[in-house]
A and B are shown apart, each in its own frame.
Chain A
């Protein structure tokens, strides 16, 4: 069975500092990986996704993630964060390639940016 582990429930970071949000997954088959973000009082928004190809994936708002099959990880990074990045971030996995596949989410990481 698939599962996703986000190792940090909260990450406080100073503005303009780099950040890495960690995600590990388990699955017996090939997976497709995602990072979603939920800003305060908004819905879930797709940040980026890995389906195949290059293991370094670039998303919106300057975020990127690297798929590491041997370590079963998909960590999210940003070189310099802004106050506006304050949100909750969810790592997710799907075994299906199509839009008809359900997603398994991690428990989320709250990113708080200090000025």
Chain B
């Protein structure tokens, strides 16, 4: 099966511009997560979708970040306007409904999008 796919793999934008990151989860995975790693620090949780609904968005840094998952398939993460401190690697992950897997833990991560704001 195809893994979690993220587009683009790299993006360089100027401060004040808008960037949209995309994540295509594994087909059938209801849970979709966004994480971010800034400047070699720890990878931090941003938000969690269950299908098209936001289950937990406690990690979103501010209102310049907007995540959507229309139709419960792929998700986008838009940063508008981008600031220098937004630079980092943005990871997406997906997992099945734990009831479908007997509760067995099963995240699959994408390769990430490296965002550089200059």
Chain A residues at the B interface, C-beta cutoff of 8 Å? 4, 32, 34, 36, 41-46, 49, 51, 90, 94, 97-100, 102-108
Give Cα A94–Cα B50 distance, bound, in whole angstroms: 18
Contact in complex: A100, B95 (CB < 8 Å): yes
21 pairs, A vs B, C-beta closer than 8 Å: A4-B42, A32-B105, A43-B3, A43-B91, A43-B109, A43-B110, A44-B109, A45-B109, A46-B107, A49-B105, A97-B98, A98-B98, A99-B98, A99-B101, A99-B106, A99-B107, A100-B97, A100-B98, A102-B48, A102-B59, A108-B40
Contact in complex: B45, A104 (CB < 8 Å): yes
| B115 touches A (CB below 8 Å) | no
Give Cα A71–Cα B118 distance, bound, in whole angstroms: 43
| B43 touches A (CB below 8 Å) | yes
Contact in complex: A108, B42 (CB < 8 Å): yes
Give Cα A27–Cα B91 distance, bound, in whole angstroms: 24
Closest approach, in angstroms, between the C-beta of B89 and any C-beta of chain A?
Answer: 9
- Number of A-B residue pairs, CB cutoff 8 Å, is 68
- Which residue of B has the minimal Cβ distance to A6? B42
Contact in complex: B95, A99 (CB < 8 Å): yes
- Which residue of B has the minimal Cβ distance to A5? B42
Q: Which residues in window 54-101 of B have CB below 8 A to A?
A: 55-56, 59, 91, 93, 95-98, 101
Contact in complex: A100, B42 (CB < 8 Å): no
Closest approach, in angstroms, between the C-beta of B54 and any C-beta of chain A?
Answer: 13
Give Cα A94–Cα B110 distance, bound, in whole angstroms: 19
Contact in complex: B110, A100 (CB < 8 Å): no
Give Cα A36–Cα B35 distance, bound, in whole angstroms: 14
Give Cα A104–Cα B33 distance, bound, in whole angstroms: 13
Contact in complex: A107, B103 (CB < 8 Å): no
Closest approach, in angstroms, between the C-beta of A108 and any C-beta of chain B?
Answer: 7
Contact in complex: A107, B91 (CB < 8 Å): no
Contact in complex: A100, B109 (CB < 8 Å): no
- Which residue of A has the minimal Cβ distance to B41? A107
Chain B positions within 8 Å of A49 at CB level:
105
Closest approach, in angstroms, between the C-beta of B94 and any C-beta of chain A?
Answer: 9
Closest approach, in angstroms, between the C-beta of A37 and any C-beta of chain B?
Answer: 11
Chain B positions within 8 Å of A100 at CB level:
31, 48, 50, 55, 95, 97-98
